[in-house]
Amino acid sequence: MLENLTASLGAEMKEDGSFNRQVNRFTAAFGDGEEELPVEAGRYRLLWSAVCPWAHRSVIVRSVLGLEDAISLGTASPMRPDLPHVDWEFSLDQEGVDPVLRIRYMSEIYQKTDPEYSGRPTVPVMVDVKDQKAVNNDYFKLTNYLETAWKSLHKKNAPDLYPEHLREEIDALNDIIFHDVNNGVYKCGFARSQEAYEEAYDALFARLDELEERLSQQRFLFGNFITDSDVRLYATLIRFDAAYYSAFKTNRNRIVDFPHIWGYLRDLYQTPGFGDTTDFHAIKVHYHLSNHIATDDQKSKNILPKGPDLSGLTSTHNRELLSGMEEKFLRQRSTEEAVIIRDASDSELPYIREQRVASYQEHAVNIPGGHWTALKQAISSEADVQAGAQRIVAESEGKIIGSVVLFPAKSDAYEGYVEELDYPEIRMLAVAPEARGKGAGALLVSECIKRAKEQGYSSIGLHTGEFMEGAMRLYERLSFERLPQYDFEPAGDGIIVKAYRLTFK
């Protein structure tokens, strides 16, 4: 009941003074299953406020995927209403009510859906317009539903923000970002003890330091293309300097003080769907003047901070130099365009070997001639037909676009340069230059990992030339670790072939 909402914020505070965010109430999934919410254009209305990072992420995805006509949008005011309970108000609309749902306060939808609801009415919330009831306020999963279950209504050539071969990694990183960054700023701002505040503060900036290092090597969190993880991180970063830095005392550094994160944020802000859905005035009004955050002194004087200067968000970032391309999105592919991973036939080996050489050719200008000659000979030889070696290809539109060889444990995968190891080894990974950007390399490596797991191994290894920077970024993104003790120098020319290993959880 509404009177119970008054105590909801207090219910989210633990005895040690730390903030423990409430559990989402409406979590039904979208899909075509018997117990799932049907996907239907025009049936649902997404309620949000431009101030809220949890809601902003869904609005970004809605825009990027072209779902604006399929899902209508209702916008609540940045200022909390002057009520004895926490709520959102539709005071921006004519007559002070949402024009579709005809409600004044967000709590009306929550109470209509569940009269016993006693938590805060939160955004985002998807409302079934037919019966005017909330069906999903699960901000953590909602973007994933929009990216997958709603695919039939995406615009033509929409981005793939949640590629299947990366979902496990995206989910893992999203969980980390949520605890330390997305919710971390709130754990700082809502802390009610010095110890709780400092614990959250230290975790937040330790994670930002890690992300700064990660983004120094690649354009986005998972390489060359924007994913769901980037959307989630953006929603916090874009509010940091304008709100959290002062309002939540997250003041060790501003985002502009992290060179790589700052460039990354500008790159995202300048992407359609990101900057054009960001309302800095609303953000500052909410975090500096709204009832549940601002101090009584701030509210009484009604003074809104003039800064910070955010004009730098539109400045040149040069992040495309990390990816080598202007394109920021991995585009969805039709069934005909999908990459298929399969075993190679013996008759395909001559073509595969030629393709390997062609895909490695770009490195010839960066290494001594003798080294290139030795490398070319190795990747075009019959070393790939050793007993137990699995030759795997990536195929798209009926053509082989890449390949890899998985050597069994305790085999001479590197022709005497490395001692025989007790785990399988990935070798000769190659993707045709004209086919890059489809995720074939990651799919091939993931297939090798899957096969090693199926064979009962707990690790898998590989070696790669130190000049193969793109390959090393891929392996590091997939959580391979360096093993310098197994490095070797095949041509005696100072060029090192680096060893990596992935240990499975």
List, by residue number, the catalytic residues. 52, 186
Residue 252 identity (one-letter amino acid): R
Helices and strands: H and E segment counts in the chain: 18, 11
Chain-centre distance for alpha carbon 286:
26
CB 123 within 8 A of CB 45: no
Q: Are 329 and 159 in contact (CB under 8 A)?
A: yes
Who's near 377: CB < 8 A, 6+ residues apart? none
Strand 425-431 and strand 339-343: pairing? Answer: unpaired
SS (H, E, C) 360-373: HHHHHHHCCHHHHH
**Alpha-carbon span 69 to 50, nearest angstrom:** 19
Closest to 385 in 3D by CA, of 346, 430, 426? 346
DSSP 3-state of 134: strand
Contact (Cβ atoms closer than 8 angstroms) between residue 5 and residue 85: yes
Burial (CB count within 10 angstroms: exposed 0-12, middle 13-18, buried 19+), residue 300:
exposed
Residue 156 CA to residue 152 CA, distance in Å, equals 10
